[in-house]
Amino acid sequence: MKVVNLRYVAAAYPLTGRLYEDYSTQADTLLGLIEELDRKYRGFKSMFCDTATGKLRINTMIYYGDKEKVPVAVLDLKQPISEGAKITFW
């Protein structure tokens, strides 16, 4: 189990009703995390993942930064996640 810091902006905010949260996850990748969040916030996965291709939707963005590193844009949903990471869903 790892704790990550999640931030929700733009269309993600109304879905979650939160600007940020510290979240405990068992996921090893962004896709696994998105699937977990979809169980908590219904519709989260379909907002970020194209169901036909399994890839990130072109009208959304995810920024990922390991602890103490500057977050960068992510295109690969297989991106590994680590303890203390900061992840922004936009």
Instruction: Give 13-34 pLDDT, tens digit per residue.
Output: 999 999 999 999 999 999 999 9
Number of domains comprising the chain: 1
- What average pLDDT score do residues 63-73 get? 94
**Domain CATH code at residue 22:** 3.10.20.30
Supply the range of the domain harboring residue 79: 2-89
Supply the pLDDT for residue 54.
87
- For residue 51, pLDDT beyond 90: no
Quote the tokens at residue 71.
Answer: 């977050």
* Gap between the terminal Cα atoms of the chain: 24
- The fraction of the chain above a pLDDT of 70, given in percent, is 100
Alpha-carbon distance of 21 to 7, in angstroms, equals: 7
